[in-house]
Chain A
Amino acid sequence: MLNTKFLLTTFVMLSTLTCLAQKKVLSGTVKDANTGETLIGAVVAEQDTERATSTNNYGFYSLVLETGERTVTFSYVGYQTKTKTISLKESAKYDVELIPNQSALEEVVVSGVRKNQHVRSPQMGSFKFSMEEIKNVPVLFGEKDLLKTIQLLPGVQSGGEGSTNFFVRGGGGDQNLILLDEAIVYNAAHLLGFFSTFNSDAVKDVQLYKGGIPSQYGGRISSVLDITMVDGNQKEFSAEGGVGLIASRLKVSAPLPDDRGSFMLSGRRTYADLFLKLSNDQDVKQSKLYFYDFNAKLNYKIDERNKVFLSGYFGKDELGFSDKFGFNWGNTTATVRWNHIFNDRLFSNTSLIYSDFNYNVSVNGNSGDFDIASKIGNWNLKQDFSFYPSNSSTIRFGANALNQTIRPASLDADEDANVNSIRIEQRKGWDISAYFSHEWKATDRLSLLYGFRLSDFMVMGPGTFYRFDDDGDVTGEQYFGKGTVAKHYINLEPRLSASLLLNSLSSIKLSYNRLAQNLHQLTNSTSALPTDQYVLSSLNIKPQLADQIAFGYFRNFNGNAYEFSVESYYKAMANQIDFRTGADLQANEFLEGELLFGKGRAYGLELLLRKNSGKLSGWIGYTLSKSERKFNGINQGAWFNARQDRTHNLSLVAMYRLSDKWSLGANFVFNSGNAVTYPAGKYDLNNTTLFYYTQRNSQRSPIYHRLDLSATYEPQKSNKRFTSSWTFGLYNAYNRRNAYIVDFRENEKNPNIAEAYQIALFGIIPSFTWNFKF
């Protein structure tokens, strides 16, 4: 605490000192003129000079200008650029509202030096979009889904047909840090992975980092997906919603009195189970199959310098068969944030965050009644500062204390049940970290973003920790009492990104980052299941580490209307986790003995051409990639292809505004086969054909391709207030039977013959959604 105070004072003093020059600071917030939503990443620039900045996650900007008449432009994709001439004598506060492009038909005139942020910024390996930008991307069952949209980006792969699970640059599905208003989301999937937990109505902005990950993020080694919820309409009461094939949604938001802020409430529920109710069968009638989400956010302005945000998410899946079997799971997140503006150069945010994930299984069968329950959760206290000493420097620093608890699946049985209760010890860990980063325009051509993150993960008692030999057999145990630290894992994670401007339209960029991960998900299938077990780093499990270097060429075309980039990366991963053959992961006290530790490497080349504005928008992405693993005890200790290894990935996303009433969307995906293990022979045991496997993941599943289409019809507004639209979609438009599962069996008629068969999940699937807004 003392340290924070000291740092604070230093920076306040520093900022005062720099003010002594004949330079003043213009600061404020950039907002949407219709709703008052803050805009993240809006560019604020002085006309005809190089002075520029962009708004932070709270829409705040700070720009140093010389005194006198200054002309400043404010711009954001999809909004009309605003130019304002300000007579600057003293440092001033200026809040701006930008007007969304009413008719997207008018090709936006892209001008000004600051439109080439894509080329100029040292950040690489990232992709940012607002939900508005992707609203016409066709999706399965018409359910807009940001996790499925990011799978269309180069370097990001889907965990399978219709799955929300994703892999970034050859990393694992549990190596993605998914944040919703800063809270960690453990399981981002509904309905066994077909839908994401993010209700698109409640989401404002999405930022994905696949490389060059800034030092304010830590805890996962593959990627960061930073999702910001909408704040709620600051201007007037508004409601919007939709009725679709799978789910209905409703969102209401309204300003608070006296311009104090706003709130937003948003809900979504599926209704597949309503059809079950129509059944005559009592068992079917009592079965459950649905999920719901609830998002809420409130922002309250205490005064000009202090603002408080409360946001939360609650979602649950319910599956059940009659009264015999019930299964539910869900996430909860809650974030309290306090924004404090110390002065026009120093911005502070303090967050207290809670999130958890739990599942429960209840069985009333012939073995009696029993329940299985598991929970993972964390408390996180976070302090972040942004300091703007000059236009060429932004300094971010902060610290956080994250307390993680895992309660592994335990079984609670009734006295008279025919199963025994089982209780597996809880695990606790403290992750204390601090970071520093400096974004610095060193020269007109060279920009740097460098920093580090220092973390100390403490494996905490109480608990009995076992030691294992090479065969996974217990060799010893050690008990650590409550509050004692069983082990410290200290990691220093350097981060660096640099861009060198070749000319105003092109640049080359370089980045290096090291990341550490102390929470590990033990997944035994390609699509993560809610019942997958989590473990923390322990005496046996060391933090997973990744070192990634990336190199890229960035180029804008046609007056910055087109953005093009080529990036190549190499990633080395240490302390990766796999399982012994036939590992017993269920309620196993000696679980860690079932784990194998090894290393990984992944490399690839990514091409992306993106067009953000105008009648036609979208992107084309292509990835050429390789991802391998090496474990003693698997594949004779030789390198083998990771499950998600896939050589070619092509995706094309196009949105086209046909007229004021109609807009069209299409996406096309083409992937070469995943690395799979297929039989290399067969044999007979007990009159059953068994398949003989030799090398791990040495073969390829069939190629995958798919085209999706959508059309949105928005009738002309009959009255000013109420608008509605219809979206029609076709998933898998040419009805290709892509293999979801390939398996092998005896031929039914002649058991001497073995055959391969595939199961396709989705044929052509039409959908429609009616959306309204008032």
Chain B
Amino acid sequence: MKKKLLIILALLTVLFSACEKVIDLDLENSKASIVIEGNLNDLNVDQLIRVTKTVAFGTDRKSDPISDASVVVRSSANEEITFVYERDGYYRAQNFQVRPGIKYSLEIAAEGEYYRSSVTMPSYVAIDSLGISKEKIFTEERYYPTFKFYDPAQVINYYLYEIAVNNSPMRFASTYNDKFNDGKYITHEISDRTLDLELDDEVRVIRYCVDASVYKFWNEFQSANPGGAAPGNPSSNISNGALGYFSVASAVMYLFKTQEYMEKVE
């Protein structure tokens, strides 16, 4: 529904001859804050956690890595894993397989402060079918990797998608809960936040089943819109004012070759 509303808004914008340009603004610069990206999942046997700091808006780096943090994950199955610094803020744990139903706790010590979080890994909700759907928006044809599946009834489920188009890095695409369709046969159409998919694109999508706090973080990120009320930082599930999130999720990666799907259909 949100998408449809956006189409209408886009139409109105076109009608009113909108015009866009890059501008220079004199922005405030605050003290750097710590950022934690903890995306543990069962796609890999190695796990990565990234610890960085915010940079000023005008900097030509995305962030500043922190190389001397202590990163430890403990589980309710009595594991204690220490992550080892690699490069660019990434800390690696080799041969660390995460399992659904286990509670994982993160503890990071960096620059004299402690940051903590814990989540329980959800089980994966299997898909029923996948494909590419074609939608015509006025004269333009758009393609969306599409997942269909039965949502388990009477439990709240949270889904998160990442997408990579051709050789682009894997990026956050969208996240959903089942508030309006608990227990139903659900369709998710996935799109990249900036790119429109072309017919000859090769697309990889990772589908995660995530914890409520991870959904909350990314949902706040995706809900922010420039016409909205004062923007804020998405609510993190990590303590002590850290930005970012800690997720332990079930995940599966899917490969789409748009053209092949379309040929099958036609």
Interface residues of A (CB under 8 A from B): 162, 191-192, 272, 281, 283-284, 289, 319, 321, 324-325, 327, 361, 363, 365-367, 372, 411, 417-420, 422, 523-527, 579, 581-582, 587, 643, 676-699, 702, 737, 739-744, 748, 750-763
The answer to whether A702 and B23 have CB atoms under 8 Å apart is yes
Complex: chain B residue closest to A745, CB-CB: B194
Given contacts A420-B181, A758-B20, A759-B226, 14 further A-B contacts (CB under 8 A): A365-B4, A367-B181, A526-B229, A587-B180, A643-B229, A683-B54, A686-B171, A702-B25, A740-B18, A751-B62, A759-B19, A760-B21, A761-B13, A762-B16
Cα–Cα, bound, A678→B29 (Å):
10
Within 8 A of A (CB), among B14-28: 15-25, 27-28
CB distance from B158 to the nearest CB of A (A): 13
Q: Are A694 and B28 in contact (CB under 8 A)?
A: yes
Cβ of B162 within 8 Å of any chain A Cβ, yes or no, is yes
Q: In the complex, what distance in Å separates the CA atom of A739 from the CA atom of B226?
A: 12
Contact check, A686 vs B39: say whether CB atoms are below 8 A apart: yes
Q: Does B52 contact A (CB under 8 A)?
A: yes
Residues of A within 8 A of B112 (CB): none
A-B contact pairs, 15 of them (CB 8 A): A283-B138, A366-B187, A419-B181, A525-B225, A579-B229, A582-B223, A582-B234, A677-B232, A681-B54, A683-B53, A686-B170, A751-B62, A757-B23, A760-B20, A762-B17
- Give complex CA distance A763, B18 in Å: 8
Residues of A within 8 A of B30 (CB): 680-681, 692, 694
Report A-chain residues with C-beta under 8 Å of the C-beta of B180: 411, 419-420, 422, 587
Cβ of A763 to closest chain B Cβ, rounded Å: 6
Residue of B nearest to A272 (CB): B15
Once bound together, how far apart are the Cα atoms of A693 and B35, in whole Å?
Answer: 13
Contact assessment for A692 and B216 in the assembled complex, using a CB-CB cutoff below 8 Å: no
Q: With an 8 A cutoff between CB atoms, is B139 at the interface? A: yes
The complex places the Cα of A367 from the Cα of B180 at a distance, in Å, of 11
Please determine whether A743 and B226 come into contact, CB atoms closer than 8 angstroms: yes
Q: A582-B234, A694-B30 are in contact. Are A680 and B187 (CB under 8 A)?
A: no
In the complex, which of the residues B22, B225, B230 contacts A756, with contact meaning CB atoms closer than 8 Å?
B22
Q: Which residue of A lies closest to B177 (CB)?
A: A584
With beta carbons under 8 angstroms apart, the residue of B169, B185, B226, B232 that contacts A693 is B232
B202 at interface (Cβ–Cβ under 8 A)? no
What are the residues of chain B within 8 A of A325 when measuring CB–CB? 1, 4, 7-8
Name the residue of chain A whose CB is nearest to the CB of B15.
A272
Q: Are A692 and B33 in contact (CB under 8 A)?
A: yes
Beta-carbon contact of A692 and B136 below 8 Å = no
Chain A residue contacts of B181, Cβ below 8 A: 367, 418-420
Say if the beta carbon of B117 comes within 8 Å of chain A.
no
B87 contacts partner chain A, Cβ-Cβ < 8 Å: no
A154 to B264, CA, bound (A): 65
CB contacts (< 8 Å) of B18 on chain A: these are 740, 759-761
Q: Write out the residue numbers on chain A whose beta carbons fall within 8 Å of the beta carbon of B223.
A: 582
Complex contacts, A418 vs chain B, CB 8 Å: 181, 184-187
The answer to whether A763 and B28 touch (CB under 8 A), given A418-B181, A418-B186, A741-B226, is: no
Shortest B75–chain A CB gap in Å is 23
Q: Judge whether B201 is part of the interface by a CB distance below 8 angstroms.
A: no
**Cβ of A689: which chain B residues have Cβ within 8 Å of it?**
62
The chain B residue sitting closest to A676, CB to CB, is: B230
Interface residues of B in 198-231 (CB under 8 A from A): 216, 219-221, 223, 225-231
- Least CB separation from A635: chain B residue: B230
The answer for the CA separation of A519 and B119 in the assembled complex, in Å, is 40
Chain B nearest CB from A277 CB (Å) reads 14
- Closest residue of chain B to A280, judged by CB? B139
Does B244 lie at the interface of the complex (its beta carbon under 8 Å from any beta carbon of A)? yes
Q: Which residues of the other chain, A, contact B225 by a CB distance below 8 angstroms?
A: 525
Distance in angstroms from B227 CB to nearest chain A CB is 5
Q: Mark B22-63, 1 if CB is under 8 A from A, else 0.
A: 111101111011010101000000000000111111111111
List residues of chain A with CB within 8 A of the CB of B54: 681-683, 692
Known: A411-B180, A686-B170. A697 touches B230 (CB 8 A): yes
B172 adjacent to chain A (CB < 8 Å):
yes
Inter-chain contact B226/A742, CB cutoff 8 Å: yes
Q: Which residues of B contact A411 (CB under 8 A)?
A: 180
**CA–CA, A361 and B15, complex, Å:** 22
Asked if B78 is at the interface (CB within 8 A of a chain A CB), the reply is: no
Minimum Cβ distance to chain B for residue A248 (Å): 18
Contact A582 B227 (CB under 8 A): no
Please tell me if the beta carbons of A696 and B230 are within 8 angstroms of each other in the complex: yes
A417 contact set on B, CB distance < 8 A: 184
Check B230–A737 contact: CB distance below 8 A: no
| Among B16, B39, B56, residue most surrounded by chain A Cβ atoms (within 10 Å) | B16
Give every chain A residue within 8 A of B185 (Cβ-Cβ): 418
B107 at the interface (CB under 8 A from A): no
Q: Is B156 an interface residue (CB 8 A)?
A: no
Nearest-Cβ distance from residue B78 to partner chain A, whole angstroms: 30
Determine whether the beta carbon of A525 is less than 8 Å from that of B33: no
Nearest Cβ in chain A — how far from B11, in angstroms? 7
CB neighbours (8 Å) of A679 from chain B are 27, 57
Q: Does B71 contact A (CB under 8 A)?
A: no
Q: Are B231 and A756 in contact (CB under 8 A)?
A: no
Interchain CB contact (< 8 A) of A420 among B20, B184, B233: B184
Q: Mark each residue of chain B from 65 to 95: 1 if its CB lies under 8 Å from any CB of chain A, else 0.
A: 0000000000000000000000000000000
CB of B243 closer than 8 Å to a CB of A? yes
Interchain CB contact under 8 A, B8 and A685: no
Alpha-carbon separation in the docked complex, A321 to B179 (Å): 25
B residues in contact with A752, CB < 8 Å: 60-62
What's the Cα separation between A506 and B111 when bound, in Å?
67
Across the two chains, which residue of chain A brings its CB closest to B12?
A: A192
The 5 closest A-B pairs by CB, nearest first: A684-B62, A680-B30, A743-B226, A681-B54, A325-B4
Contact at B232–A686, with CB atoms within 8 Å?
no
Contact code string B164-198 (vs A, CB < 8 Å = 1, else 0): 00000111100000011111111101000110000
A192 partner residues in chain B, CB cutoff 8 A = 9, 12
Question: A342–B28 Cα gap in the complex (Å)?
Answer: 67
Given A525-B228, A643-B229, A742-B25, residue A683 in contact with residue B182 (CB < 8 A): no
Q: Which residues on the A side are within 8 Å of B105 (C-beta)? A: none
Residue interface mask B126-144, A partner, CB < 8 A = 1: 0000000100101100000
